[in-house]
C-alpha cells in the first residue's frame, strides 16, 4: 500500500513525530499513533457508562447551584492536584 500525504501541515506533523519519538520510519510513527488511538477507543468503550454518569452528576450539581465559581476553579483544581486526588467529582459554576 502506498500512502501519499498531500497536506504539508500533516507531513510536517509526521516529521516532527518522527524526530521527537526516535522512531525509525514514518510507518513506525503511524503504527504508534494507531495503537494509541485504538487504546483510547477501547478505554472509552469500556468506560463509557461511568464517564456518562459522571457528566450527568456534574450537570445535576450545576443545576442545583452546587458548582464551583469559575474565578475559584483554578485554585481549587491546583489544591486537589497537590493532594493527589484524581477523581474529585466537581462541577464548575460556568455552564455553556
Residue 92, pLDDT > 60, answer no
Residue 94, pLDDT > 90, answer no
User: End-to-end distance of the chain based on CA atoms, in angstroms?
Assistant: 45
This prediction has a pTM of: 0.59
| pLDDT tens digits for range 1-35 | 888 999 999 999 999 999 999 999 999 999 999 99
Q: Where in the chain are the domains? A: 35-82
| pLDDT tens digits for range 41-56 | 999 999 999 999 999 9
Q: Buried (b) or exposed (e) across 4-20, using 16+ Cβ within 10 A?
A: eeeeeeeeeebeebbee
pLDDT class of 96 with cuts at 50, 70, 90: very low
Amino acid at each position: 500500500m502506498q500512502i501519499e500525504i498531500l497536506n504539508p501541515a500533516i507531513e510536517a506533523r509526521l516529521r516532527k513525530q518522527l524526530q521527537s519519538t526516535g522512531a525509525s520510519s514514518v510507518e513506525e510513527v503511524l503504527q504508534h499513533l494507531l495503537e494509541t488511538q485504538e487504546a483510547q477507543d477501547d478505554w472509552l468503550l469500556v468506560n463509557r457508562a461511568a464517564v456518562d454518569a459522571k457528566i450527568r452528576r456534574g450537570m445535576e450539581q450545576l443545576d442545583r447551584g452546587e458548582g464551583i465559581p469559575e474565578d475559584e476553579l483554578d485554585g481549587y483544581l491546583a489544591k486537589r492536584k497537590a493532594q493527589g486526588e484524581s477523581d474529585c467529582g466537581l462541577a464548575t459554576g460556568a455552564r455553556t
